[in-house]
Structure 1
């Protein structure tokens, strides 16, 4: 046989790569297979060692069908093919798509053990190429199916395991090639992808089985470096985040179950929470509450929730239709919506998570015992207030879940949750008269001070602190020290600084509902008329974002009125009317039917303010009698708005007692208006008894003169007014 023709030119198709193996003139040592007598002392032409360089390539899974077509496969001949890549094939990038390692196995002995006919992979004539190809395919499939348990890898020599470099390449140097001690004088190798990043690679590259040394395409020499091009079907990853919402429910309703929230906005960042860089644009949740961040590569990521039409970071009442942005979804170090895709990749089904946002808590405040449209009160009255205080649905922590990190948890319970009541000018807090009662939303359970809440009294304001369970000794000490000072700012600072504990079990059960407050404040004696008397209540909480607060206000007011007592004037005309001193009156509140009995002295009240007293019968009025002064004036100050009546119980000397009571009103601006234009209360003079004789005649004459004089004066006064 012609030794120059004694070679095998075989095309081995492995993993979609056409690999031509040449064994030119290397079959001389196999005389039995080819009936050729060995030539003694033949010179060695083939290299003892060569280099093997693997160039890892990748394509998008969308192009998989493209690379299944024969014309689009790389035609490997052991030479470099990088310049022939089409626009769908790329060098694998480990910095974005994850770490890949290849292990090079010397499987020469294993092949000759499995195939005991002495042919190995190269002992075939050109006409037997299909049989050789069948062996290569069998080896590749066995390795692919069984990995390092394959019969071709078990006991094989590991040449080395290396990760691809930044260009997607890995190089093995000084790999054994020509070896006269081997049956076919070749070494057979398997290049196996032994580390593949999860998720990024749809399927790892198929094992490449090849012969070393490798004849160049011209057939006139051997390659010092053999280049191999395994391909990966790859994909970039995506993360699905689902947003849920739970609102606080008013009245006695149970809190809502969580519902998918459409319209929430998120921004994905790459890097460390609080200092990352934006990835892509703003993502908006769909009707299923889901956003998807696409085209993800290796890196550390986190989601940040943004202000939107359905979620806000503003706790004020105008935003109650929105949920509060979760404290673990902000662009700061507390962000928990984090995930990482490392060099080992990640299972795609792990790239999902969820976030629950909660309705913002609010508080109401209402004065319930005020009179009339303006909710007026008397000075000294107890102003009775009611408040509904929302207990946040996430008072015991916010729900969040990130499958990528295996975390499904709640954030820490609120360590700050309290109210602060601040009576403003002319309203004061008297602890003994506060009468605070706090009940659950259904009014069936009354909370216990010391168990469910702590009251801390400052200077004319007071705090109800609900974080009373599991508070650390250090936090308790801070609270106690601040309470002893009575300093409002120090108390507030101490409560806001608490980092431990939670609300009681009773309060926790009200999550998503509310608590009902009833309490009293005192209207002070020095309250001016027609001036709002204000009470503020604050709800303060910290969900992990820092203390937040909202304020609600209600007010009362008190009114007055002024009178002047006059005579009815000459013959009841009002002419020459005189201011009358000494008239005595009592006042009835027509709304209640009771008679004002004066003010109880402040020294004898429990509030330290004087208080209005009332009796059922005007005859029982003792301290509430109003007496006109030398200018005929008398007044009422610090009264509620409404309809009243005035009854004269003693007329001035020489005047008739008023035949009827006189109605009047007290309300907005009556004090100011009647101060300059008081309500006139008239008295008629007493009628003189008849006289006889000369006394009667004298009086008639004098009376006639006086009548003429008065009428003349009145006429002159009228003339002057008309012509003024």
Structure 2
């Protein structure tokens, strides 16, 4: 190249200004203007390279720095500028922000077809007007391609890949262009296209024109894709002394990390919030990155706001899942009635369903949201309904009538969640385990008699559940019996397991069967009671060996598995029975209690003052298999219920409920007056123990001899004259006589 050519060449670079902008379109090359300015130059040897390499350095900056780059546009000259970039910009990282691909289009023929004046993009002089015209063409091409991008992009959803492909196929410059290659950037954010055509004598301006287009952009991370770069190849070095063997291009994007919104709801039982689903404030979540049960924590614990929402921020590529942590509003304890139950799909194990993934293609940001429903806790209540008094006492042999209430969980047919990122809106499987079992602490004191159980289970609106359709009874041993609600859709294997267990009457086998079901659900009628209470009414029997003053406990256990493991809660209620002890004795000398005697053979009838009925003993009840109490209307009808004092004057009542009673003597001991009044007494806590050592005394007066006729006045006078003697010595004589009678 001669000096005048070199001089003109350098001048063209200086005046034409070959410019690359990281902020927009790249305008390159006015080298061909030299040939136009010097038409007398004879063609010589080829100096420009026939091919070069094109390296695209994908850069990124945070959206918060957008204003900085608007005010500080970065220009380059095709050389490697990676060491000169400002701190606000970094190499794009596909490992965290998603996969990016560039397609290099050779648009030479399309440009020359569109602009058929023979100038293309380089056939211009160095005049300001020509430079402006050339820049206008480059801008027009760039804007045309950018418009296709804009048609496939919006700030809310990001780039729609399918729509972008469609738009590119219709673009006036790309549709007929020759696609050189499509390549993904490497982990450093770079991609190189090798041996790209450069100087070409067959082309009108002897150059190739290219568009470097970002044709694969991860959704969400990039806002928007980088602008296309239009450039000429080969490219003159900044000194104007030669050509670049590798041209460096620096497209850049505004990027953002992603956020995920999770909304927490609670569906309380019918007795709270009307059984409606409402946002739950105060719930706590921890985000993990990785596989459920094995992930690493991302950030700190998040707490739902008043709208039930938490937002996980600064998300990059990866697999994620949320775990709900115990909080003041939600817990995992089986018997926690104050808090909602943590969902089985929100725990840190393989069953977790609150998963989402941001892959190399990115994701529509609007999909990064989900919801989770927690449920009001299940519960069990148990109450003895026919007990007497504050301690709920009963008689031996009585039915103990219990009323139990079982809350059917709101999620009995499955727990709901929704993850828009995966398009999942689903329910877990229904409960495969849901049952109760009832048993006394000691079957020798309180027992179950299946034929006399009288079980009725009702819905809140009075519908009666059907055995065999809505529930199954399994009778075990030692008065334990089960109500199994998993009766619909059982597999043959599970159905057989249940039947075999029922036939065995073995508590362990029954327990294993109802806990181990893997199929089935509750009946439609029971499912319809979600969040409501089923009411049980049934009877158990106090035995005739029931001890006195001891709490006789009956238990009910509610067991379930919502998919996160077996849980159970226990409730109980109790009854008690009482007794009282009496002693029959004479009233003593002159009724003063002096030298009183224990009296054998006195007979009494007992009346319950509350009911007015008379006790007629405990009689065998074949259905119950125990003796139960018999009551009659009149004391004269009392036969088996007669209480007779023994030789120590003792008699007792045992196995009675708390209350007020009346004792009526129906036969006096020989030689004694029949009591002319009844005796009221109480039975209740500890009356048996208290009266064992200090029995209630029931006194009889001794019969007196009637005086002879006409002796009344004498007796009265004698009584007056000898009163002192009687008082002083009578006691001795009375005791001596009683002793002689007792010795006979």
TM range (shorter): over 0.9
> 2:373 and 2:652 mapped to 1: Cα distance?
62
Residue 481 (structure 2) aligned to one of 440, 447, 462: 462
Give the C-alpha shift of residue 34 in structure 1: 4.5
Match of residue 196 from structure 2: 175
Gaps of 5+ in 1: 716-724
* SS of residue matched to 1:67: helix
DSSP-derived class of the 2:61 partner: strand
Match of 2:82 in 1: 82
* Counterpart pick for 1:635 among 649, 652, 673: 652
Deviation at 1:180, TM superposition (A): 1.9
Query: Residue in 1 aligned with 2:269?
Result: 248
Cα separation, 1, equivalents of 2:119 and 2:526: 84
Alignment equivalent of 1:289, drawn from 294, 298, 308: 308
Q: CA RMSD in A?
A: 2.3
2 CA distance for matches of 1:298 and 1:576? 103
Q: How far apart are the structure 2 equivalents of 1:3 and 1:125?
A: 15
**1:106 corresponds to which residue?**
106
Is residue 2:546 matched to residue 1:538? no
Q: Is the 8 A contact 1:605 1:611 kept in 2?
A: no
Cα displacement (A) at 1:684 = 0.6
Q: Compared with structure 1, are the counterparts of its residues 693 and 136 closer, same or farther at alpha carbon in structure 2 (3 Å cutoff)? A: closer
SS in 2 for 1:561: strand
Partner of 2:28: 21
- CA distance in 2 between partners of 1:511 and 1:714 (Å): 81
Among 31, 39, 46, the alignment partner of 2:42 is 39
Q: Does 1:440 align with 2:455?
A: no
How far apart are the structure 1 equivalents of 2:379 and 2:252? 60
Q: CA deviation at 1:370?
A: 0.4
- Tell me, yes or no, if the aligned pair for 1:49 and 1:178 is still in contact at 8 Å: yes
SS at match of 1:507: helix
Distance between the aligned counterparts of 2:293 and 2:274, measured in 1? 32
1:53 aligned onto 2:55: yes
Does 2:431 match 1:428? no
SS of corresponding position for 1:503: coil
Q: CA deviation at 1:15?
A: 6.2
- 1:584–1:626 contact (8 Å) kept in structure 2: yes
Note the 1:609-628 alignment, pairs <5 A.
609-628=626-645
2 CA distance for matches of 1:148 and 1:228?
Answer: 24
Aligned with 1:573 (options 589, 592, 597) = 592
Query: What SS does the aligned partner of 1:450 have?
Result: coil
**Deviation of the 1:588 alpha carbon:** 0.4
Give 1:3's aligned residue. 5
Look up the SS of the partner of 1:197 in the other structure.
Answer: coil
Moved more, 253-262 or 499-508: 253-262
Superposed CA offset, 1:214-263 (max 9, x none): 1111111211111110011111100001111111124xx99522111111
1:405 is the counterpart of 2:408: no
1:451-479 deviations in Å (ceiling 9; x for gaps): 11111111111111111111111110111
Residue pair 2:220, 2:258 contacting (<8 A) in 1 also: yes
**Displacement, 1:21?**
3.0
Per the alignment, residue 198 of structure 1 pairs with: 219
* Aligned-residue offset at 1:693: 12
Residue by residue over 1:562-598, the C-alpha shift from the partner in whole angstroms, topping out at 9 and shown as x without a partner, is 1111011111111111110000000001011100000
Distance 1:579 1:563 in 2: 11
> Is the CA contact 1:13–1:137 (under 8 Å) kept in the aligned structure 2?
no
What is the deviation of 1:3?
3.4
Match of residue 132 from structure 1 = 134
Aligned counterparts of 2:543 and 2:144: Cα–Cα separation in 1: 95
Alpha-carbon deviation of 1:142? 1.6
Paired residue secondary structure (2:380): coil
* Mapped contact 1:10–1:133 kept (Cα < 8 A): no
Please name the residue that 1:720 is paired with.
none
Query: TM-score, structure 2 length as denominator?
Result: 0.90
Give the equivalent residue in structure 2 for 1:152: 173
Per the alignment, in what secondary structure is the counterpart of residue 539 of structure 2?
Answer: strand
Taking a change above 3 Å as real, the CA distance of residues 82 and 596 of structure 1, as seen in their structure-2 partners, is same
Q: Distance in 2 between matches of 1:254 and 1:174?
A: 71
Aligned residues of 1:588 and 1:594 also touching (Cα < 8 A): yes
Equivalent in 671, 674, 683 of residue 688 of structure 2: 671
Cα deviation code 1:352-404 (max 9, x no counterpart): 11111110010111100001111000010000000111111111111110100
After TM superposition, give the deviation of residue 17 of structure 1 in Å.
4.5
Q: Residues 173-215 of structure 1, C-alpha deviation per residue, up to 9 Å, x if partnerless?
A: 1212122222212111111101000000110011101111111
Matches within 5 A, 1:647-666: 647-666=664-683
Judge conservation of contact 1:382–1:523 (CA < 8 Å) in 2.
yes
Report the more deviating stretch, 210-219 or 615-624.
210-219
C-alpha deviation, 1:27, in angstroms: 5.4
**8 Å Cα contact 2:33-2:125 kept in structure 1:** no
CA drift at 1:656: 0.4
Does structure 2 conserve the Cα–Cα contact (< 8 Å) formed by 1:15 and 1:207? no
Q: Distance in 2 between matches of 1:714 and 1:87?
A: 125
Q: Is contact 2:21-2:73 (8 Å) kept? A: no
Matches of 1:706 and 1:635 in 2, distance apart? 38
Whole-Å separation in 1 of the counterparts to 2:734 and 2:691: 28
Report 1:544-555 matches (<5 A). 544-555=563-574
Q: Which residue of 1 aligns with 2:64?
A: 62
- Secondary structure of the structure 1 residue equivalent to 2:381: coil
Match of 1:608 in 2: 625
Alpha-carbon offset, residue 689 of structure 1: 2.0
Which secondary structure state, in structure 2, belongs to the residue aligned with residue 65 of structure 1?
Answer: helix
- Segment of structure 1 superposing worse, 509-518 or 342-351: 509-518
- Aligned residue in 1 for 2:163: none
2:285–2:325: 8 Å Cα contact kept in structure 1?
yes
Q: Which runs of 5+ in 2 are unaligned?
A: 149-167, 736-744
With 1-10 and 264-273 compared, the bigger mean Cα shift is at: 1-10
Q: 2:224·2:254 contact (CA, 8 Å) conserved in 1?
A: yes
- State yes or no: 1:477 paired with 2:496: yes
CA distance in 2, matches of 1:589, 1:76: 110
353-362 vs 211-220, which moves further:
211-220
Equivalent residue of 1:191, what SS?
strand
1:243-322 equivalences under 5 Å are 243-250=264-271, 256-316=275-335, 319-322=336-339
SS at match of 2:345: helix
Q: Distance in 2 between matches of 1:207 and 1:493?
A: 68
Taking a change above 3 Å as real, the CA distance of residues 704 and 580 of structure 1, as seen in their structure-2 partners, is farther
Q: CA deviation at 1:144?
A: 2.1
Residue 38 (structure 1) shift = 5.1
Tell me which residue corresponds to 2:119: 119
Does the C-alpha gap of structure 1 residues 80 and 440 become closer, same or farther in structure 2, counting only changes over 3 Å?
same
- Output the CA distance in 2 between the equivalents of 1:75 and 1:195: 25
2:266 is paired with a residue whose SS is strand
- Cα deviations by residue, 1:263-312 (Å, 9 ceiling, x for unpaired): 11111111111111110011011011100000000000111111111111
Is structure 2 residue 340 aligned with structure 1 residue 323?
A: yes
Q: CA deviation at 1:481?
A: 1.3
